[in-house]
Structure 1
Amino acid sequence: MNQATALRALLTQDKCHVMPCCFDALSAKLIAQEGFELTFMSGFAASAARIGAPDLGLMSYGEVVDQARNITDAISIPLIGDGDTGYGNAMNVRRTVAGFAKAGCASIMIEDQLAPKRCGHTPGKAVVSRDEAYDRIRAAVDEREALREQGGDVLILARTDARHEHGLSEAIDRATAFSELGADILFVEAPRSEAEMRAVCSSLPGPKMANIVEGGETPDLPNAALRDIGYSIAAYPLSLMASAMQAMVTTLRSMRDDARPGQMAFGELRRRIGFDTYYESSKRYGSAERRHD
């Protein structure tokens, strides 16, 4: 079963999948090790981890695809990649979809923000016209169909940020059109209340994704409530990044004071990274085994 097929199967289940978001191969590996069934490469977190810069369109297409490829090489659960605005016009969107699919992503998110895009819960967002937004999704769907003709597959996650500047009604209208154009998953970013979240899910067909940013504009509801509202996926884009950064800052401050904070034992660290699996596999090869002595 390829990853796109695996993701489609997950979306048929009557549940809201908790989806911690990764930012590199190691964070994705930890997500899989803890039994989560899918993950998303957060653009916010990936930009911070890879180039140490904010999610303001600074990472290039090539850098993002390379990051996605490293992640899919490390895990066997479906990865949704953040394709931002598609990195150009409709033809660029097609190339972006093809590149993410080739990198092993089960799905790619394409959004309707102006380029360079911004994090969905920060000020200054603006969206393109309806026609340009629809062209992006139309191009993404066209590339998905071309991939299927060649034996491949990828799901299109269509995102609108229109709520911020134009209101919820415009966001719902855009997402409805995205569905009619063939998008597989719909994502209305930053509804500001549970009532707005219910309006989104009751108005739109098919699987919907909620984006839960701790301290962001969308209410951080329990998973049971998100399922009742009608979401199929609950993404948590910054939970791991924020936790990792807090732990590293705490450790650094302790080291500065010549203290030694509690941390993961070296044995577990090695196991989770994959040393034990590597050594076990290498026993088949005498020359490789001798090099470890």
Structure 2
Amino acid sequence: MTTPAQTLRSLLAQDRCHVMPCCFDALSAKLIAQEGYDLTFMSGFAASASRIGAPDLGLMSYGEVVDQARNITDAISIPLIGDGDTGYGNAMNVRRTVAGFAKAGCAAVMIEDQLAPKRCGHTPGKAVVGRDEAFDRIRAAVDEREALRAAGGDILILARTDARHEHGLAEAIDRAGRFAELGADILFVEAPRSAAEMREVCRNLPGPKMANIVEGGDTPDLSNAELHEIGYAIAAYPLSLMAAAMQAMVTTLKSMRSDARPDLMDFVELRDRIGFDAYYDASERYASARREKS
């Protein structure tokens, strides 16, 4: 049976840039899968907003994040990349984080070099740890990945650096290059500020790279064709679904206040997408026993 990690590796081997809408809970992930996307990412920003109604400033605990990831993987069959933040402590905590995300069914886990508590990559005030600590995090993540493989498990490591903000693009590229040398599977240089910077990232780094497109953020919102031409394998959209859902809810609430009837998804489609129809179809298998008794 193909594992989520193996499926993700196959996707990354394709000569294309995969559009990756990011989810925040099981329902949003289910909708992404229903619309035919090949993979998704559990956005820490959106998950924090959805689960605890708070900003992505390191407030969600390791246990809460892993629980959220487990709920999502239970609802979908496409690969999920989990947001492991800074690893929630020292190198040994990083290893536990990688193991926990693998056990939760994630295809990959992201580990970053921000100073804890971390911040959203497109908000002010973020800082990164020193190079040695950053490298130790990725080294620990890779060690745990190899230990999992030896025991029959599997997961990929997505290594992220936020060094562009404080230390410039050259330092970010240097760090990401070292992450690759240490064995990271996917590289993520956060918040390049122009198409030229994005080209420099892809030109100077090996293997699959991920672009993070935040509408209104620091990184240009290029077309998928442009991102593929530049050299990206994944284009993540961490806030698109959350922003759309919040806008729809606010609009609906305002219309209800004036006794208007909002434009909603049809109740039949809503039930079907949530899974009522599939449940009823499956349950019919067991209705024969009741009919026989009657």
Alignment TM-score > 0.5, same fold: yes
Superposed, 1:133-152 pairs within 5 Å as 133-152=134-153
What are structure 2's unaligned runs of at least 5 residues?
Answer: none
- Provide the alpha-carbon RMSD of the alignment: 1.0
1:175 partner SS:
helix
Per-residue Cα deviation, 1:189-222 (whole angstroms, up to 9, x for no partner): 0000000000000000000000000000000000
Per-residue Cα deviation, 1:6-65 (whole angstroms, up to 9, x for no partner): 000000000000000000000000000000000000000000000000000000000000
CA distance in 2 between partners of 1:220 and 1:39 (Å): 18
Is 1:283–1:289's contact at 8 Å kept on the other side of the alignment?
no
Is 1:22–1:39's contact at 8 Å kept on the other side of the alignment?
yes
CA distance in 2 between partners of 1:181 and 1:7 (Å): 20
Superposed, 1:80-229 pairs within 5 Å as 80-229=81-230
CA distance in 2 between partners of 1:164 and 1:231 (Å): 20
Q: Name the counterpart of 1:67.
A: 68
% identity of equivalent residues:
84
* 145-154 or 278-287: bigger deviation: 278-287
Q: May I ask how many residue pairs the two structures share in their alignment?
A: 290
CA distance in 1 between partners of 2:94 and 2:223 (Å): 35
Decide whether aligned partners of structure 1 residues 288 and 84 sit closer, same or farther in structure 2, where only a CA change above 3 A counts.
farther
Decide whether aligned partners of structure 1 residues 266 and 230 sit closer, same or farther in structure 2, where only a CA change above 3 A counts.
same
Is 1:117–1:125's contact at 8 Å kept on the other side of the alignment?
yes
Task: Give the drift of 1:286.
Answer: 2.4
TM-score (norm 1): 0.98
CA distance in 1 between partners of 2:60 and 2:262 (Å): 34
Decide whether aligned partners of structure 1 residues 288 and 155 sit closer, same or farther in structure 2, where only a CA change above 3 A counts.
farther
2:177 is aligned with what amino acid? T
Task: Give the drift of 1:285.
Answer: 1.1
Is 1:91–1:139's contact at 8 Å kept on the other side of the alignment?
yes
Decide whether aligned partners of structure 1 residues 289 and 196 sit closer, same or farther in structure 2, where only a CA change above 3 A counts.
farther
What are structure 1's unaligned runs of at least 5 residues?
Answer: none
2:114 partner SS:
coil
CA distance in 2 between partners of 1:162 and 1:289 (Å): 64
